[in-house]
Structure 1
């Protein structure tokens, strides 16, 4: 797999970010889940869940898939929410700044085709509920990326594991001078943590 050059440079930058000890402890639960699936020779399905499926869960789906591919691990990466909105255009702009190529289809809640390599199929990103037919119906890990969804969805049907990996919402900086910086900061944090997770997996 050959990544787009700008994206490859972004990944190298993400790999240099320090991850605090309290975050490595949180991420270890996800590492253990993936490792167990690898050891058993089972399919790995990760569903990143946030309330609106518009920012953090989309970043996580995209970076999770790319980080796994970067480390040569086959993962099915999904995302969902508890209500449908749209993949926020500010978040879309952020992934483009990191080197992803994006095409858009439809209006309202459009589908975005997120390309990271000419060798791989694009990631299809759009806002949906966590049990949308586009996602794995069962035998997946529900990775809870925001506190609201984590606290208000005590039960996720079909999930065989529930793993809280919460992130701060860049939405707080919408329409401010810090908007692009904060979206990129969150995206890069998620990239660094997903890369860390899959770097720890023994194949």
Structure 2
């Protein structure tokens, strides 16, 4: 059986989409081939790397990239993780299903944090929400068809 190919897409490919790719590779590599990209390239967020490592998932070798840096792939699903990516998602072939599953933006939430601990708490919450979503894949995709 071939693996389901999923692209996680967000604005900068620095945090949420990287977490989603990391969790999917960690939890579902037997059934899903995961990729991530951004509408723009913002660089890998060090707080995202840190909280993923605390959860046992190493994304430190991941790189922030835009769609044009991905290998010439056909995806079964493109999952947008933020409103900007949903609104500006590029065209994909008809067989590719686009799904939007929005998650809060940890860097934006962390801007108002009073301490490093509070800031990291936002990253941890979103990390865990993404983990829970990924655990339901690929079955959760059937509900959105």
**TM-score w.r.t. length of structure 1:** 0.60
1:74, 1:81 → 2: CA distance? Answer: 23
Indicate conservation of the 8 Å contact 1:47/1:130, yes or no. Answer: no
Matched with 1:184 is 124
Indicate conservation of the 8 Å contact 1:131/1:137, yes or no. Answer: no
Equivalent position SS for 1:137? coil
Indicate conservation of the 8 Å contact 2:7/2:75, yes or no. Answer: no
Structure of greater Rg: 1
1:55, 1:165 → 2: CA distance? Answer: 15
1:152 deviation in Å? 1.9
1:163, 1:184 → 2: CA distance? Answer: 24
Indicate conservation of the 8 Å contact 1:85/1:127, yes or no. Answer: yes
**TM-score w.r.t. length of structure 2:** 0.81
Correspondence for 2:65 among 128, 132, 144: 128
Q: How does 1:50-129 map to 2 (within 5 A)?
A: 50-69=10-29, 73-101=30-58, 112-113=60-61, 125-129=62-66
Equivalent position SS for 1:184? helix
1:84 deviation in Å? 1.1
Change (3 A) 1:183 1:60: same
Q: Is there any run of 5+ residues in structure 1 with no aligned partner, and where?
A: 1-40, 103-111, 114-124
2:97, 2:138 → 1: CA distance? Answer: 18
Equivalenced residues, count: 136
Change (3 A) 1:44 1:199: closer
